[in-house]
Structures are given as C-alpha cells and as structure tokens.
Amino acid sequence: MLQTRLRAALSIAIVLGTCSLWPAKTSQAGDEKPLSEEQVKQLARGPLRKFPHEIVKLVESHGVDFLPTNTSLAGLKDAGVKDDVLSAIRRKAGSQMRIKVCLFKNPDSALATQFADAMVRRLVERKVVEIAPFGSIPLDRTVGSPEGFDNNVKPEPNTLYILLEGWIRNSPAGFSIEPTVVYRDAQGVQHSIPGADHAPTSFTRQNLDQTAGSVVDWGIETAKKYAAS
C-alpha cells in the first residue's frame, strides 16, 4: 500500500512538474498552477487511476485552466477520468469563472462608459447568473478595457473570464451595436465564442439601458451555448 501511494505521489510530481511529492497545504491561494486537460488525463492514466479522490483534491486545490464544455468533458471521460473528478472539475470551473463587462469601442468615451455601467447594473439586477453545468457564477462589477484588461484593470489569477465586448457605431437612427463574447482562459489566451441567436443590433439614447440589459442577457445565453457545445 505504501509503495502504491509513493508511486502515486511520484506520478503527481512528474505530471505537475513540481519538486515536492504532494501540493503544499500551506500554499497561498493562486500560488499553484491550475491543471490542464492533458494533466488531468495523465493523472487518471497513472497510479492515481485507483485514487480518483486524490485527483479531486488536486482539482479543488489547484483549479483548472480550461472551461469544461461538454466536448472537453466527454474527451476526459473517454480518457478514463472518473465521474467524481468530472463533477469536481465542473464545480471548480464555476467558482473560477467571471462574466466581465468591457468598454465597447466607440469614439465617444462617455457613451461607451454609460453603456458599460448600464450593463453592470443589469448583472447586479440579475443577482444570480446560472450557467449549466457550473452553477452560480460570481459577479464581477469592475468594467474592463475594450480588450478586457490593461494597466488599471488586471485579471485575477487562475480565473476563467467570459468577456462581453463589442463596437458601438453611429447610425442615422441612433447607434448600431455589434456585441461579441470572448472566453479568456487561465493562461490569458482569448477565444472568440459563436454568438447566440437574436443579438441586439441597434439602440437610441432613450432605450440605452434596455439594450445594455439585452446585451448582458444575450452574452449569458452565448456562454451557456458554448458550455453545452
């Protein structure tokens, strides 16, 4: 039994690329690198295949660096990852996720700020954002730059961001709007997400708040669609 556990500990050290055999229990939050899909597969194929509860502990302590869509979860299951581990990955990813409003690109910075503030208010009004299968997603009230982050607004470590971005352009009837949703993984790589149906396309100053709320709702539906893909 001891030899088996030592082999399992060595497997963890090799997969995680760490000098210690077990993750330090005294580490500060965010110190440990999150697990990649490939690392989870390696752990499930190695000596820990008989100790899925140990992989669950690693997921809970380290987090993951990927958004576990249905497709990625199916790939993990095919690789031998147990259901308890998959459930832990879903839960942990949900706690790591944030939906973040970004300034929409427009020459009128006051208009862009007004629109972003209205989007944040809509997020606050919703109180709870549920994205299956992750559950309730923590609220991020800080508005990001058009690209998501800059020197003033920095990403939190080990966080999976759903960024609500886009463009606002002048039009004869008011303004046209082109919202987009971007997934930013824990490594800082951004991925465009195919939008859900019925994205808002225009607004006036009179219905700005209503349209901003519709963009938030559409962005959340887009994130749900992506998670289910």
**106 shares a domain with 88:** no
H-type alpha helices, 46-162:
52-62, 70-78, 83-96, 109-126
Whether 85 and 140 map to the same domain: the answer is no
Q: Are residues 213 and 103 in the same domain?
A: yes
Classify 4 as helix, strand or coil.
helix
Are 221 and 187 part of one and the same domain?
Answer: yes
Rounded to whole angstroms, how far apart are CA atoms 44 and 136? Answer: 28
Name the phi and psi angles at 212, rounded to 5. -60, -40
Total domains present in the chain: 2
One domain for residues 102 and 87? no
pLDDT tens per residue across span 109-132: 999 999 999 999 999 998 888 888
As beta bridge partners, residue 136 has 130
Same domain? 102 vs 197: yes
Same domain, 149 and 196: yes
Read off φ and ψ for residue 183, nearest 5 degrees.
-100, 125
Least confident of 15-24, 184-193, 209-218: 15-24
- The verdict on 60 and 158 lying in the same domain is no
For residues 215 and 115, membership in a common domain is answered with yes
Same domain, 108 and 123: yes
| Model pLDDT for residues 158-200, shown as the tens digit of each residue | 999 999 999 999 999 999 999 999 999 999 999 999 999 999 9
Domain enclosing residue 55, as ranges: 2-95
C-beta of residue 163 within 8 angstroms of C-beta of residue 192: no
The angle that helices 37-45 and 2-16 make with each other, rounded to 10 degrees, is 160
Mean pLDDT computed over 193-220? 96
Last residue of a domain, one of 64, 95, 126: 95
pLDDT of residue 126: 87
Residues 6+ away with beta carbon under 8 Å from 107: none
Give the tokens for residue 191.
Answer: 């991925």
